[in-house]
Structure 1
Amino acid sequence: MLAALRAVVTKEVRQTLRDKRMMALLIAAPVLQLVIFGNAVSFEIDRVPTVVVDHDRSAASRTFVQRLLADRTLELAGEALTADEAARALVTGRAAAAVVIEQDFARRIARGVPHEPATVQVIVDGTNPNKSSVAANAASRFSQVAAREAIGERLARLGASAPRITPAPSLEARVLYNPRLRTPIYMVPGIMAMLLLVVTTIITAMGLARERESGTLEQVLVTPVRPAVLIAGKMLPFAAIGLFDFGLAMAVGAYGFDMPIRGSLVLLSGVTLLYLVATLSAGLLISTISRTQQQAFMGGFLFMLPAALLSGIMTPIHAMPAWLQPLTLVNPLRHYAIAMRAVLLRGAGPEDLLPEILALAAIGGTLAVLAATRFRKTLA
């Protein structure tokens, strides 16, 4: 049995090494995609183009605008005479936000009367929710700071006659694990999980389809090799390649994107093996219902697209519709991405990853049984 398994593994390795296009897809493509996606995918938004409508045209309003734009979250894209003109700038795409300062801004700031506040309107383009929320939050934060400073200056002018005001509590924010809120640190583990899915699922599905097209699968079937040994022999080389790609992606992430490695690599390697069992079994299952490489590729694509969308890598799962969220529980990519981020970024241990480990074992075992059963029926 071991001799037959060794023979099948040797055949698969030699066949894979002879195919230069497949070797490029297995090794060069994941590294290239990780570098491109890691740099291209970013949720950090700054320099939002902003038009300003200053109806007051006073020193106070000009100072307000200068300070609002000082941190470069909002960037001046021009000035407009009216709010309608600013709205047209949003329609044409020349700006994503507009700041409208009403008349008597300086006078109301100086008086500081509660029932006559100085008014500043911020108009944002809601077609890009991320950019609009960043612009609105930046303006809101600055307005709160400006309001506190105005109250402080007014109290200082009034001196002893000022009413006694209880100071507001101080709020200090503390960000754990990613203090600088860098997007690559969060995105790279998820991208690594997606690349492993692409490489192992597509290659496994297309490998068997290629053998069926070329007729070599029938030659293997006439040998006294058991179906279980044949399945294991075809999956082991790609599992080894998947682990190699995992190590390569870890090196690129650590040295190319300063991705921290706070947890155990041994634990993460074990979780990766469970994940590879699921992805390789999915590829094998797809190959059993595909007659050509083109069908295998399309089947793999149709499997990977929902898996990526329902993984929570790009968008949070809790933001999905309630009826759709249960479907993510049978997605191996979701559980592996959670485990990757937990181990690498938060230093999680086995007890913290128990739900993900059990889910990956269950999904991988189910897919393996289905693939093996379908493969035996196909051989028969």
Structure 2
Amino acid sequence: MRLANIFRLGVKELRSLAADPVLVFLILYTFTYAIYAVASGANFEVSNAAVAVVDDDRSALSLRLRDAVLPPQFASVVELTAPEADAALDAGDAVFVLHIPSGFEADLLRGRDATLLLDIDATAMTQAGNGAAYLQSIIAREISAAAGRDDGMTGDLPIDLVVRSRFNPNLSSVWFNAVMQVINNVTMLSVILAGAALIREREHGTIEHLLVMPVRPAEIMAAKIWANGSVIVVASVLSLIGMVQGVLAVPIHGSLLLYTAGAVLYQFSVTALGILLATIARSMPQFGLLVIPVIVTMNLLSGSSTPLESMPVWLQKVMMLSPATHFVAFSQAVLYRGAGLDVVWPTLAILAGIGFGIFAIALARFRRKIVEMG
């Protein structure tokens, strides 16, 4: 391959992209407002959860338990009767209903077994799981204080457990969502731009012009990869600096230069994947329908939305073939934990190997398509 041909064809791709206002707007929107909206709107922590109390005890302890449930995790506690509480759960007006039975405080002070009932609307999974843990902690603390204990526990433990959360001490979902949304958008736009560039050439008839020029299929494909990939890499780095660090105030612990190097390797594979999909589709609508399940699968199962370790073992092995899985692991190590090249170089090597494999398959398909068109 001649580098001069690749460079000139890449410049042509950049000019074609700049002349398309829809794609320019899509890139700007995806790496600005879309990052902010997802990071600040899709929160996983408990916030303003609705809590109702059925208080049959009417004791000082029951009032103390009600007063201990406070914002911002929970909304103001509403007292209901048992039938009203069931109706509130059915209607979705309450996520948690705490039933305090009659004689609860008296049984507790006399050393008898005392029971509390906490009904949870588990359709709201995030609030149900995290909120239940918060409420159990609150109840245990208040009961311990009422019983004259000061350790916040209802039983004796042989250890003193101290929990420290590293890299995200406040457990803020904004820190996680912001960076992972940038990574997901890199995958989405890389596939779309590279594939759309090839289909646009075919629909506009300019691919025939390239066929009569002294350029090879590999040069045409490499030009599309570096041109579209460079736009996405630059946009993602600027988004990390301006939107993630600047607007959302999310700290980046690692080297942006190392991230950029990994993003370049990742672009090599996902832009080639976009060209591979474009050789299968016959039109832009077909390409769009083909891209949707590919991107959704890569983003949801790459570890950016849910931990890879929580998936079935066979699915983990399958996703090891996806470049998105390794790029997510690389980005989390560098941007979250501040890992250096000595830690992430095996991931980069795997990413490069997968990229060359996808490039070879896409190039074979691309050559076959060019022969058919010729």
Give, in whole Å, the separation in 1 of the partners of 2:11 and 2:125. 53
Secondary structure at the aligned position of 1:223 is classed as: coil
The Cα offsets for residues 143-198 of structure 1, whole Å up to 9 and x where unpaired, read as 322343244369xxxxxxxxxx9885332221111111111111222111111111
Q: What corresponds to 1:89 in structure 2? A: 88
8 Å Cα contact 1:34/1:192 also seen in 2:
yes
8 Å Cα contact 1:186/1:341 also seen in 2:
no
Q: What corresponds to 1:159 in structure 2? A: none
> CA, structure 1 residues 177+322, in 2 after alignment: closer, same or farther (shift >3 Å)?
same
The Cα offsets for residues 26-76 of structure 1, whole Å up to 9 and x where unpaired, read as 334322211211212211112210111011112332122112x13543334
Matched, 1:367 2:355: no
- Amino acid paired to 2:192: I
Matched, 1:33 2:29: no
Aligned pair partner of 2:161 in 171, 174, 198 = 171
- Alpha-carbon distance, 1:77 to partner: 5.1
TM-score normalised by the chain length of structure 2: 0.91
8 Å Cα contact 1:285/1:370 also seen in 2:
yes
Secondary structure at the aligned position of 1:75 is classed as: coil
Q: What corresponds to 1:162 in structure 2? A: none
8 Å Cα contact 1:109/1:150 also seen in 2:
no
Query: Percent identity at matched positions?
Result: 28
Give, in whole Å, the separation in 1 of the partners of 2:327 and 2:176. 14
- Amino acid paired to 1:95: A
Give, in whole Å, the separation in 2 of the partners of 1:127 and 1:179. 28
- Alpha-carbon distance, 1:367 to partner: 0.6
The Cα offsets for residues 200-247 of structure 1, whole Å up to 9 and x where unpaired, read as 110111111111111110111011111121112222211220121122
Aligned pair partner of 1:232 in 192, 213, 222 = 222
Matched, 1:43 2:44: yes
Q: What corresponds to 2:191 in structure 1? A: 201
Question: RMSD of the alignment, in Å?
Answer: 2.0
- Amino acid paired to 1:97: F
- Alpha-carbon distance, 1:264 to partner: 1.9
8 Å Cα contact 1:189/1:337 also seen in 2:
no
Give, in whole Å, the separation in 2 of the partners of 1:356 and 1:167. 42
8 Å Cα contact 1:52/1:76 also seen in 2:
no
Give, in whole Å, the separation in 1 of the partners of 2:34 and 2:42. 11
TM-score normalised by the chain length of structure 1: 0.90
Matched, 1:118 2:110: no
Q: What corresponds to 2:55 in structure 1? A: 54
Secondary structure at the aligned position of 2:265 is classed as: helix
Secondary structure at the aligned position of 1:123 is classed as: strand
Counterparts of 1:99-138 in structure 2 under 5 Å? Answer: 99-111=98-110, 113=111, 116-138=112-134
Aligned pair partner of 2:321 in 323, 330, 334 = 330
> CA, structure 1 residues 78+307, in 2 after alignment: closer, same or farther (shift >3 Å)?
same
- Amino acid paired to 1:246: S
- Amino acid paired to 2:286: Q
After the TM superposition, which parts of structure 1 deviate over 6 Å for at least 4 consecutive aligned residues? none
Secondary structure at the aligned position of 1:330 is classed as: coil
Q: What corresponds to 1:5 in structure 2? A: 6
> CA, structure 1 residues 323+167, in 2 after alignment: closer, same or farther (shift >3 Å)?
closer
Counterparts of 1:139-154 in structure 2 under 5 Å? Answer: 139-152=135-148
> CA, structure 1 residues 245+123, in 2 after alignment: closer, same or farther (shift >3 Å)?
same
- The structure with the larger Rg is 1
- Amino acid paired to 1:331: S
Aligned length: 365
8 Å Cα contact 1:263/1:344 also seen in 2:
yes
Give, in whole Å, the separation in 1 of the partners of 2:315 and 2:39. 28
Structure 1 unpaired stretches of 5+: 155-164
Counterparts of 1:291-302 in structure 2 under 5 Å? Answer: 291-302=282-293
> CA, structure 1 residues 361+59, in 2 after alignment: closer, same or farther (shift >3 Å)?
same
Structure 2 unpaired stretches of 5+: none
Q: What corresponds to 1:66 in structure 2? A: 67
Give, in whole Å, the separation in 2 of the partners of 1:217 and 1:63. 75
> CA, structure 1 residues 144+168, in 2 after alignment: closer, same or farther (shift >3 Å)?
farther
Give, in whole Å, the separation in 2 of the partners of 1:349 and 1:174. 23
> CA, structure 1 residues 217+146, in 2 after alignment: closer, same or farther (shift >3 Å)?
same
8 Å Cα contact 1:200/1:242 also seen in 2:
yes
Q: What corresponds to 1:17 in structure 2? A: 18
Q: What corresponds to 1:98 in structure 2? A: 97
Counterparts of 1:266-345 in structure 2 under 5 Å? Answer: 266-345=257-336
8 Å Cα contact 1:200/1:279 also seen in 2:
yes
- Amino acid paired to 1:217: I
Give, in whole Å, the separation in 2 of the partners of 1:32 and 1:102. 49
> CA, structure 1 residues 77+167, in 2 after alignment: closer, same or farther (shift >3 Å)?
closer
- Alpha-carbon distance, 1:7 to partner: 2.8
Give, in whole Å, the separation in 1 of the partners of 2:7 and 2:166. 48
Higher mean alpha-carbon deviation, 73-82 vs 42-51, is at 73-82
> CA, structure 1 residues 318+62, in 2 after alignment: closer, same or farther (shift >3 Å)?
same
Give, in whole Å, the separation in 2 of the partners of 1:214 and 1:256. 40
